[in-house]
Amino acid sequence: MRILHTMLRVGNLQKSIDFYTQVLGMSLLRQRDNPEYQYTLAFLGYGTNPEHAELELTYNYGVDHYELGTAYGHIALAVPDAAEACAKMKAAGGVVTREAGPVKGGSTVIAFVQDPDGYKIELIQRPA
Protein backbone atom coordinates (compact mmCIF):
# COMPACT_ATOMS: atom_id res chain seq x y z
CA MET A 1 0.00 0.00 0.00
CA ARG A 2 1.01 3.61 -0.51
CA ILE A 3 -0.49 7.06 -0.08
CA LEU A 4 -2.01 8.33 -3.35
CA HIS A 5 -3.35 11.70 -2.28
CA THR A 6 -4.58 13.87 0.56
CA MET A 7 -7.87 15.74 0.11
CA LEU A 8 -8.67 19.17 1.51
CA ARG A 9 -12.01 20.97 1.14
CA VAL A 10 -11.51 24.59 0.08
CA GLY A 11 -13.75 27.65 0.00
CA ASN A 12 -12.23 29.35 -3.06
CA LEU A 13 -10.72 26.92 -5.53
CA GLN A 14 -8.79 29.43 -7.64
CA LYS A 15 -7.33 31.18 -4.59
CA SER A 16 -6.19 27.79 -3.25
CA ILE A 17 -4.75 26.69 -6.61
CA ASP A 18 -2.85 29.99 -6.77
CA PHE A 19 -1.44 29.43 -3.27
CA TYR A 20 -0.28 25.87 -3.90
CA THR A 21 1.20 26.69 -7.33
CA GLN A 22 2.58 30.20 -6.81
CA VAL A 23 3.58 30.06 -3.13
CA LEU A 24 4.48 26.37 -2.68
CA GLY A 25 5.61 25.70 -6.25
CA MET A 26 3.32 22.75 -6.99
CA SER A 27 1.91 22.09 -10.45
CA LEU A 28 -1.77 21.85 -11.25
CA LEU A 29 -1.87 18.28 -12.56
CA ARG A 30 -5.52 18.02 -13.53
CA GLN A 31 -8.89 19.55 -12.76
CA ARG A 32 -12.40 18.14 -13.15
CA ASP A 33 -15.72 19.90 -12.74
CA ASN A 34 -18.86 17.90 -11.91
CA PRO A 35 -21.86 20.27 -12.21
CA GLU A 36 -24.40 17.47 -11.74
CA TYR A 37 -23.08 16.82 -8.22
CA GLN A 38 -21.92 20.41 -7.66
CA TYR A 39 -18.23 20.00 -6.97
CA THR A 40 -14.88 20.60 -8.66
CA LEU A 41 -11.67 18.68 -8.00
CA ALA A 42 -8.13 19.94 -8.60
CA PHE A 43 -5.09 17.71 -8.17
CA LEU A 44 -1.73 19.33 -7.47
CA GLY A 45 1.74 18.12 -6.65
CA TYR A 46 5.43 18.01 -7.38
CA GLY A 47 4.92 15.01 -9.64
CA THR A 48 2.18 12.53 -10.46
CA ASN A 49 1.09 9.16 -9.17
CA PRO A 50 2.44 6.59 -8.81
CA GLU A 51 5.86 8.19 -8.15
CA HIS A 52 4.51 11.06 -6.03
CA ALA A 53 1.56 11.55 -3.72
CA GLU A 54 -0.81 14.31 -4.82
CA LEU A 55 -2.94 16.92 -3.09
CA GLU A 56 -6.64 16.90 -4.01
CA LEU A 57 -8.51 20.17 -3.49
CA THR A 58 -12.29 19.78 -3.41
CA TYR A 59 -14.57 22.76 -3.96
CA ASN A 60 -18.25 22.13 -3.18
CA TYR A 61 -20.42 24.70 -4.96
CA GLY A 62 -21.67 27.42 -2.64
CA VAL A 63 -19.48 26.54 0.36
CA ASP A 64 -16.97 29.31 1.03
CA HIS A 65 -15.43 28.08 4.29
CA TYR A 66 -15.10 25.07 6.58
CA GLU A 67 -14.48 24.57 10.28
CA LEU A 68 -11.07 22.94 10.49
CA GLY A 69 -11.80 21.15 13.73
CA THR A 70 -9.20 19.91 16.15
CA ALA A 71 -8.19 16.67 14.41
CA TYR A 72 -6.33 18.15 11.43
CA GLY A 73 -2.62 18.71 12.02
CA HIS A 74 -0.62 19.64 8.94
CA ILE A 75 0.92 18.59 5.65
CA ALA A 76 4.74 18.36 5.68
CA LEU A 77 7.07 19.31 2.82
CA ALA A 78 10.84 18.84 2.64
CA VAL A 79 12.80 21.99 1.74
CA PRO A 80 16.57 22.46 1.45
CA ASP A 81 16.54 25.74 3.45
CA ALA A 82 13.51 26.57 5.62
CA ALA A 83 14.42 30.25 6.15
CA GLU A 84 14.92 30.80 2.44
CA ALA A 85 11.65 29.00 1.68
CA CYS A 86 9.81 31.25 4.16
CA ALA A 87 11.26 34.38 2.55
CA LYS A 88 10.22 33.23 -0.92
CA MET A 89 6.74 32.29 0.28
CA LYS A 90 6.24 35.66 1.98
CA ALA A 91 7.36 37.42 -1.20
CA ALA A 92 4.77 35.38 -3.13
CA GLY A 93 2.00 36.39 -0.71
CA GLY A 94 2.15 33.40 1.63
CA VAL A 95 1.49 33.68 5.36
CA VAL A 96 4.27 32.27 7.52
CA THR A 97 2.88 31.35 10.94
CA ARG A 98 6.15 30.04 12.41
CA GLU A 99 9.51 31.26 11.21
CA ALA A 100 12.29 28.77 10.54
CA GLY A 101 14.00 27.43 13.64
CA PRO A 102 14.69 24.25 15.57
CA VAL A 103 11.76 22.12 16.64
CA LYS A 104 11.09 22.25 20.38
CA GLY A 105 13.20 19.58 22.06
CA GLY A 106 15.26 18.84 18.96
CA SER A 107 17.54 20.20 16.29
CA THR A 108 15.52 19.71 13.10
CA VAL A 109 14.77 23.10 11.51
CA ILE A 110 11.10 23.60 10.71
CA ALA A 111 8.70 26.41 9.78
CA PHE A 112 4.97 26.68 9.11
CA VAL A 113 2.98 28.42 6.41
CA GLN A 114 -0.81 28.66 6.19
CA ASP A 115 -2.96 28.27 3.08
CA PRO A 116 -5.98 30.51 2.27
CA ASP A 117 -8.36 28.19 4.16
CA GLY A 118 -6.20 28.07 7.29
CA TYR A 119 -4.61 24.66 6.68
CA LYS A 120 -1.07 24.45 8.06
CA ILE A 121 1.88 23.26 5.98
CA GLU A 122 5.08 22.33 7.79
CA LEU A 123 8.39 22.98 6.05
CA ILE A 124 11.09 20.57 7.23
CA GLN A 125 14.65 21.46 6.34
CA ARG A 126 16.36 18.52 4.67
CA PRO A 127 19.65 18.67 2.77
CA ALA A 128 19.19 18.45 -0.99
Q: Which of 54, 84, 99, 122 is catalytic?
A: 122
Task: Clarify whether 36 is annotated catalytic.
Answer: no
- The distance from CA 60 to its chain's CA centroid, rounded to whole angstroms, is 18
CA atoms of 21 and 10, how far apart (whole Å) = 15
Q: Which residues of 51-88 are buried (b: 16+ CB within 10 A; e: fewer)?
A: eebbbbbebeeeeeeeeeeeeeeeeebebebbeebbee
Cα–Cα distance for residue pair 84/88, rounded to 1 Å: 6
38: left (phi over 0), alpha (psi -120 to 50) or beta: left
Annotated catalytic residues are: 122
